[in-house]
Chain A
Amino acid sequence: MNRKFIIFFEKSGYIKYISHLDMMRLFNRVIRKCSIKLAYSQGFNPHPKMSFALPLALGYTGKNEILEIETAEDYKTAFILSSLNRAMPDGISIKDVQEDRGERGNKTIASAVYAGEYIAEIPLVDDASAKLGNITKKTAAFLSQPIIVAEKLQRKTGKILEIDIKPLIDTLTAVIIDNKFIMTTIVAQGSTATLSPELLLTVFCKFIGLDFERSEVEMTRTQILYH
């Protein structure tokens, strides 16, 4: 009897440097190693029924990531949790496993995702914090603009488009703690509208006058929000 499970996990430490595709391979392999039998799709090239609710960009830490699987046999959630945790390499830890009993009808979480919560951290050099001034005021000013324009590269045409990202920002706060600039935001993510937190960070930091190098940003996704 096929069963559906939702696996909540954390991805942190060096392992954040493996890609979405590598995560698929890893979970597939570890599930196999734990002798958990996944259900397979029908067709010429059957693939295991397993998908992440929302892919996480390479280099991002994920505090509460979601994987949905369908198994070909019945398993206890506690068994899945403990055996996956035992087999996973350092950096992936399974937080919770729930059985999906069809509360959302036949919809997957992936199709119900509408937003993601992110924290971006940038270490500040000595006087940067003073120069920035009142961050809270600046944030309010940023958000009160009638439109917030961001430049986005359109992959297909190679053209740079100007878009209004304001409707895609749900919440945005910024603070400086221990000489670290910390931006926390909930942005639209999912099939209908998506805003990359990095794009928001770029536009926001330009507005408040903070220069940064991409390699200095520590990006963490703390939540995936779904209906």
Chain B
Amino acid sequence: MDIKYELDKLLKLVEKPARYIGREMGEIVKDKETVDCRFCFAFPDTYEIGMSYMGLQILYYVVNKEENLSCERIFAPGLDMEELMRARNIPLFTLETKTPIAEMDMIGFTLQYEMSFTNILNMLDLGGIPLLASERSDDMPLICAGGPCACNPEPLADFIDFFMIGDGEELLPEMIKRWGEFKKTGGSKEDFLKSTCGITGIYVPKFYEPVYNEDGTVKEIKKLYSDAPDTVKRCIIDDIDHAFFPKEILVPLIETVHDRAVVETMRGCTRGCRFCQAGMIYRPIRERSAETAEDIALSQLAYSGNDELSLLSLSTSDYSEFKPLILRLIDKCREENFSISLPSLRLDNFSFTVLEELQEGRRSGLTFAPEAGTQRLRDVINKNITEDDIYGAVRKALELGWSSVKLYFMMGLPTETYEDLDGIAEISKNIRELFFEVTGGKGAGRFKVTASVANFVPKPHTPFQWEPQDSPESFNKKHLYLRGKMKIKGVTFNYHDTLTSSYEALFARGDRKTGKALFAAFKHGCKFDGWTEHFDPKKWQEALKEADIDISFYTERRRSELEIFPWDVIDMGVSKEFLLREKKRAEQALTTPDCRYGCVGCGISKLTDCPFGGVLANE
């Protein structure tokens, strides 16, 4: 079938047709005859979201810079496009060469959030590829997946041939190259997967079989192939300063969520917030030098013509060269007329100086994430921010003329009581009062406090992986309670949809049995579940019933300290002993300091050197 001819007709009928055309600046189109292995990077959400993801840019170029490999892209098509494609039998195709994805050699899905899992199944189906790995013949592409959610790959184990755990910029091209070479020898997928078993970071689910206890928990994880590793160690790039980072980037032709130059200054975080999966699974901290970061930033800006630059890391101001780097970039941004955005900035004095410099009179909102309403609960979650920190920074901001404050909290954290919820209202009210104190009430009409409350989702490989999640009823009750408390003049209160949080929790800590529910949900037409307008609780309930899944077993159950987890086969580097120790300290509301002030023994040093453990010990 000539997709290109048919496609031209479809593009005239759909919303935002540019999602499906490629042809951006930076796009690399290779002739299939000249490459050994054709890889397809799959983002299981819309083009606009996927193209805002920096990981895509890195992997796209790191693969394409190999002459004999190619990387093309696919995204989840919009519902209107999908309908037309299905009606006219047009399979999902890559943007670069409009190749049906079943003709590619390897397809790799990025797992950024659990609620995109049904899109993965839908995309395979749209490509005419059997969903179950066991039903795919050797002439079908190899299907792999990586990204943060791969740290518990089990819900997707039936669908994916192999997972890549950890840093991908070396592992992915290596695997594509190997598959290209292996295919030439005419070997089977099975033999190929066996041959990858020694590679750090590779998990082949078919070589393992979980055995369950009668109560549904995991009894043991049985190996079905003796050479498969007992646990799969995460792949870690020790030196990101010399790791590949693109200086040329794909520049979307249509507006995307983020459309800007991005440089990663550091990977990992030392703060040790107990709810935060990223803070655990990206250890240890690895930094890019300020020179390299600046060079990348300026090259990207020059290449793309972007007028915005963002620094990417889990905690912008913890980057040890933040000060010299940002001062140099500020000079540059004046000369060359671009703006700089700094996510997750800690609001100390230097940050305010920087923000004032950057915004020059145009002040956007001040953002804070206290996460919990009382000091006790903040100690439980190890969020080392005090009320003095919050009010001090807000006071400073008000003095400088800022007129809006955004606050982020979580609800349903372990040990939470209604007193902690009162604390959320308290902080919002106090900030409002602080405003009157500082300004004497001038401009009170414009001053806005927005408090957003997300539902806590316990994640694997965190100290809270043993903890139950609040039931939907409990969340609803708490939302209602807080809504009453938050009826404060000048304060806006937002909260998150409860049901999606339960499903997110289900798949975050799901086992292979939950994959059946995923399959059933796909059959019922579930897709784009992360989008409130598309999430359909009725279909999901049907799916759970058919797969015989009791969701509360996964979400609301407190796990025993001895329990074997489905994801125990994956070794992210942080030891289970450390996580358990942190869990116990949380129960006593004991904080654990940032490990730059002294190593806290998280276990990562067994996998790699930890350059920042204790570096600030003498300060």
Give A residues with C-beta under 8 Å from B.
13-15, 17-19, 22, 25-26, 28-33, 58-59, 87, 89-91, 213-217
Contacts and interface: CB of A to CB of B under 8 A. Distances in A.
Given A14-B22, A15-B253, A87-B25, A29 B305 contact: yes
Given A18-B254, A214-B12, A215-B12, A89 B17 contact: no
Contacts of B12: 59, 214-215, 217
A165 B17 CA distance: 30
Nearest to A29: B305
Contacts of A216: 9
Contacts of B18: 17-19, 22
B21 interface: yes
Contacts of B27: 89
Contacts, number: 60
B303 interface: yes
Given A14-B23, A91-B23, 6 more contacts: A18-B18, A22-B255, A28-B305, A33-B302, A59-B11, A87-B305
A43 to B, nearest CB: 14
B307 interface: yes
A29 B249 CA distance: 14
Interface string B16-30: 011001111101000
A146 B253 CA distance: 46
B306 A15 contact: no
A89 B24 contact: yes
B302 A22 contact: no
The 4 closest A-B CB pairs, nearest first, are A33-B305, A29-B305, A14-B21, A17-B17
Contact of A32 (B17, B254, B305): B305
B13 interface: yes
A29 B251 contact: yes
A122 to B, nearest CB: 12
Nearest to B259: A25
A51 B383 CA distance: 51
Interface of B: 9-13, 17-18, 21-25, 27, 251, 253-255, 302-307
Contact of B13 (A18, A28, A90, A215): A215
A62 B10 CA distance: 20
Nearest to B7: A14
27 contacts: A14-B11, A14-B21, A14-B22, A14-B23, A17-B11, A17-B17, A17-B21, A18-B18, A18-B253, A19-B18, A19-B254, A22-B18, A22-B253, A22-B255, A29-B251, A29-B304, A29-B305, A29-B306, A29-B307, A30-B25, A32-B305, A87-B25, A89-B253, A215-B9, A215-B12, A216-B9, A217-B12
A214 B17 CA distance: 15
Interface residues of chain A: helix, strand, loop or mixed (majority): helix
B10 A215 contact: yes
Nearest to B98: A14
A195 B305 CA distance: 36
Nearest to A23: B253
Given A17-B18, A33-B302, A33-B304, A22 B254 contact: yes
A37 to B, nearest CB: 9
Contacts of B13: 214-215
A30 B253 CA distance: 11
Given A214-B12, A215-B13, A26 B253 contact: yes
A5 B18 CA distance: 29
A55 B25 CA distance: 22
B296 to A, nearest CB: 17
Most interface-central of B18, B24, B255 (chain A CB within 10 A):
B18
B25 A89 contact: yes
B23 A59 contact: no
Nearest to A219: B12
Contacts of A29: 251, 304-307
Contacts of A217: 12
Contacts of B254: 18-19, 22
Nearest to A218: B8
Given A14-B22, A22-B254, A25-B255, A32 B307 contact: yes
A217 B22 CA distance: 22
Nearest to A217: B12
Given A15-B23, A26-B253, A59 B17 contact: yes
A18 B252 CA distance: 11
B16 to A, nearest CB: 9
B21 A15 contact: yes
A73 to B, nearest CB: 14
Contact of B23 (A25, A89, A214): A89
Contacts of A17: 11, 17-18, 21
A59 B251 CA distance: 20
Given A22-B255, A58-B17, A30 B305 contact: yes
A89 B23 CA distance: 6
A33 B303 contact: yes
B118 to A, nearest CB: 28
Contacts of A19: 18, 254
Contacts of B255: 22, 25
Contacts of A15: 21, 23, 253
Most interface-central of B12, B17, B24, B306 (chain A CB within 10 A):
B12
Contacts of A214: 12-13
A59 B20 CA distance: 13
